Amino acid sequence: MSMETTAWQQLHSVMTARQERRPFARATLRRIGAFARPHRRRIAQFVVVSVVTALLAVATPVLAGRVVNTIVSHGDRGTVVRLSLLIALIALAEAALGLLGRRLSATLGEGLILDLRTAVFDHVQRMPVAFFTRTRTGALVSRLNNDVIGAQRAFSNTLSGVVGNIVTLLLTLVVMLTLSWQITLLALVLLPVFVLPARRMGGRMARLQREAADLNAAMGNRMTERFSAPGATLVKLFGRPEDESAEFAARARRVRDIGVRTAMAQSAFITALTLVSALALALVYGLGGWFALGGTLEPGAVVSLALLLTRLYAPLTSLAGARVEVMSALVSFERVFEVLDLEPLVREKAEPRRVPDGPVAVEFDRVRFGYPSADKVSLASLEEVAALDTRGGTEILRGISFRAEPGQTVALVGSSGAGKSTIAGLLPRLYDVDEGAVRVGGVDVRDLSATSLRETLGMVTQDGHLFHDTVRANLLLARPDASEDELWDALGRSRLDDLVRSLPDGLDTVVGERGYRLSGGERQRMTIARLLLARQRVVILDEATAHLDNTSEAAVQEALTEALSGRTAVVIAHRLSTVRAADAILVIESGRIVERGTHHELLAAGGRYAQLYRTQFEKAGVPPEAEPEAVG
């Protein structure tokens, strides 16, 4: 490897590494050791291969010098042949060890990536919904990609580099000092001329690279927002295409300018290093030749010194930047551990219970709850803010108590922000209550296994979220083992079978991001089909017909009638017409139940429900008596 190539690699590592100086954290090192422990045998093999490779790298120049000495002294031809064959064998061994080392490095690095990514992914899945409502998705994905890969480099690159370079450096120095201590010391004098420009240029180019990365990230975020279906629609309705284009072009031009400056700086740097390399070799050949002609140095030693010179500068240059690489890897590990250290607020017990078989009742017993503050569920770096919002804990629910008997439908109505959706979120244990208890089948949800709770309780939200996948995949999310007939049965009962049959690929048609290729009513019926397929005994409907027109609402309501049949249901409704047939209606205001009863009982009482009911139909311009009965 030439001196300029090695220096360029070092320059690149300085450019790509995070320029942070911090002390070694022993706790971080211990945790890294815990992740590395399963790979300790492969790490040991990797270190051994690196050391042997370093030994072979120093042997070749020494043997080359002996070949030259044999030729100059008109020695035995057989000796030249044997030395040449030995050099060839060493070259073959170096190649084989290089491949083996690369395999060990790749296996070790990729294995570490697998362990870290799996640990982070599994941990994030256990986080409460509040974590996802605050965290920027891109920042979280970056931890799973960029930071995990940065941590991997500590094992696949830095480890082998440090071990191999130290061995190579020590052996090279010993051999060079043995051959000629004068030339060796003079060669070391040129080291600052070689290393300092690399570090200075590296810092300058690192700043350019970071600026380019920030600009590219900003453009990427802008494109992600503008190119999504909702974002593109918003731009077409309210945006100014000319201004959007001008802003994007300005950032793109800045990236172009940085690219030109970086290319020129790289070229100047490589040219300078090539010159330094030539000067160093000239020193060896000039001074070595002078000594050789004076009889104080063998000609072969001059050749060996020239070849060893590259073996000397390469590890010195790499080790000069090893601290930066190690610090970069530590930062990556710390950022990964930062996510792993977030304690999930919702935890499953060591020996959880299952929901009893048979009909299921739902009960809220004096429940009090307030959403946790950001510092309990998130990280400032994941929200991309300077400091987390410490506000939180304000009580949303204040002593909520009610019971839905098996097969009953209980409706929750009230003003926006009263706490209805919060009640719905506590049932599937998206959050844990602060006081009181939520019971399903007579068992506190905190004592139930997550699997049993999912199998028992299903939920349809107002946004009808679907993944960017096929109809089939979105349905199988509820029951992966469902047959083709069961899929079509669920679609038929949700009044979607005709639509799906008309799609280009039927069940294998991709529905688009968030199901955007379907209408709002079709998305809702798709989530209802998923609910029917899961066959859960308790159903939660959180404003499932909100934002739908009358035609879509009628279709969804018809599908909901099928979904609620024979099931215990908690229904949150903005349109009061959809809950008139509920077994019980609870009016929620400011986190309390202020009224409860049937539709007719509450109307007769003339309280808050009657007021909401009259106000809603007066706004719609429809007499209350003209509104049809909903099926609950």
Comparing 24-38, 65-79, 349-363, the range with the smallest average pLDDT is 24-38
Chain centroid to CA 6: how far?
33
pLDDT in tens, 371-400: 887 767 777 767 666 566 666 668 889 999
**Per-residue model confidence (pLDDT) at position 439:** 93
Q: Which residues contact 303 (CB under 8 A, 6 or more apart)?
A: 61, 64, 65, 68
pLDDT at residue 154 greater than cutoff 70: no
Structure confidence at residue 630 (pLDDT):
44
Q: What is the mean pLDDT of the chain?
A: 78
Calpha distance 20→334 (Å, rounded): 13
Look at 441 and 255; give whichever has higher pLDDT: 441
* More confident: 14 or 249: 249
The answer, yes or no, to whether residue 401 has pLDDT greater than 90, is: yes
What pLDDT does 7 receive? 47
Q: Is the pLDDT of residue 355 over 60?
A: yes
How crowded is residue 94: how many other Cβ atoms within 10 Å of its Cβ?
Answer: 17
Distance of CA 57 to the CA centre of its chain: 40
- pLDDT of 524-547, one tens digit each? 788 888 888 888 889 888 876 665
Instruction: Tell me the mean pLDDT in the region 9-23.
Output: 48
Distance in angstroms between the alpha carbons of the first and the last residue of the chain: 78
- Quote the pLDDT of residue 363: 93
pTM for the whole structure: 0.66
pLDDT of residue 159: 66
Helix, strand, coil % in the chain, rounded to nearest 5 = 65, 10, 25
Structure tokens at 80: 């030249």
8 Å CB contact between 304 and 172: no
Highest mean pLDDT among 297-306, 399-408, 459-468: 399-408
CA dist 512 and 229 (Å) reads 9
Q: What's the CA gap between 411 and 613, in Å, rounded?
A: 14
Alpha-carbon distance 526 to 509, whole Å?
13
Residues with Cβ within 8 Å of 610's Cβ and at least 6 positions away in sequence, in order, are 602, 603
* Least reliable range by pLDDT among 107-111, 254-258, 314-318: 314-318
**Would you state the structure tokens that stand for residue 298, as one six-digit string?**
């063998």
**Cα-based distances in Å from 199 to 7, 193, 210, 259:** 10, 11, 16, 20
H or E stretch covering 368: strand 362-370
pLDDT value, residue 238: 65
Query: Per-residue confidence at 627, pLDDT binned at 50, 70, 90?
Result: very low
- 21 in Cβ contact with 326 (< 8 Å): no
Tell me the mean pLDDT in the region 544-554: 62
Q: Which of 176-190, 421-435, 517-531 has the highest mean pLDDT?
A: 421-435
- Residue 20's pLDDT is 46
Which band of pLDDT confidence, cut at 50, 70 and 90, is reported for residue 26? confident
Q: What is the pairing mode between strands 443-444 and 584-589?
A: unpaired
H/E segment holding residue 538:
strand 538-542
pLDDT tens sequence across 613-626: 888 765 555 555 44
**What is the model's pLDDT at position 365?**
94
pLDDT exceeds 70 at position 11: no
Helix axes 322-340, 299-320, angle to 10 degrees: 30
The rounded distance, in Å, linking the Cα atoms of 246 and 129 is 38
Going along the chain from its start, the domains and CATH numbers come out as: 3-340 (1.20.1560.10), 362-377+392-465+536-626 (3.40.50.300)
The answer for residues whose C-beta is within 8 angstroms of residue 315's C-beta and 6 or more apart is 164, 165, 166, 168, 169, 172
